[in-house]
Amino acid sequence: MGIELIMPMNYYALATTFSIHIFLVAMMFATMPWTKFGHAIYMYIWQLYDRYRTWKGVELGCLGRGVAS
């Protein structure tokens, strides 16, 4: 947005900035599983799983297999 405000008619600068932005976003998602950034998505998935598991009455047993309670 800054480039668009500073140089609104310079399409080369806009395209270059957008390409760099998309590259950085792709690199963040590529490294997400190994960083704390991954918690932004995995936390919500875990909460859904935990609600489903509690609703079904399944407790995790050895090696992650479900054991009915």
User: What pLDDT digit, counting tens, does each position of 19-39 carry?
Assistant: 999 999 999 888 877 777 777
Q: State residue 23's pLDDT score.
A: 95
Round to whole Å and give the CA distance between 7 and 62.
Answer: 60
Range name among 4-8, 43-47, 55-59 with the lowest pLDDT average: 55-59
Say whether both 2 and 16 belong to one domain. yes
Considering the domain architecture, whether residues 30 and 50 belong to the same structural domain is answered as no
Q: What pTM, to 2 d.p., does this model score?
A: 0.48
Shared domain check, 50 and 23: no
φ, ψ (nearest 5 deg) of residue 52: -65, -45
Say whether pLDDT at 58 is over 80: no
Residue 37: which residues within 8 A CB-CB, separation 6 or more?
Answer: 28, 31
Residues 69 and 45 in one domain: yes
E strand or H helix that includes residue 67: strand 66-68
Residue 45 has pLDDT above 70, yes or no: yes
Is the same domain home to 44 and 55?
Answer: yes
What residue numbers bound the domain in which 14 lies? 1-34
- CA–CA gap between residue 6 and residue 53 (Å, rounded): 52
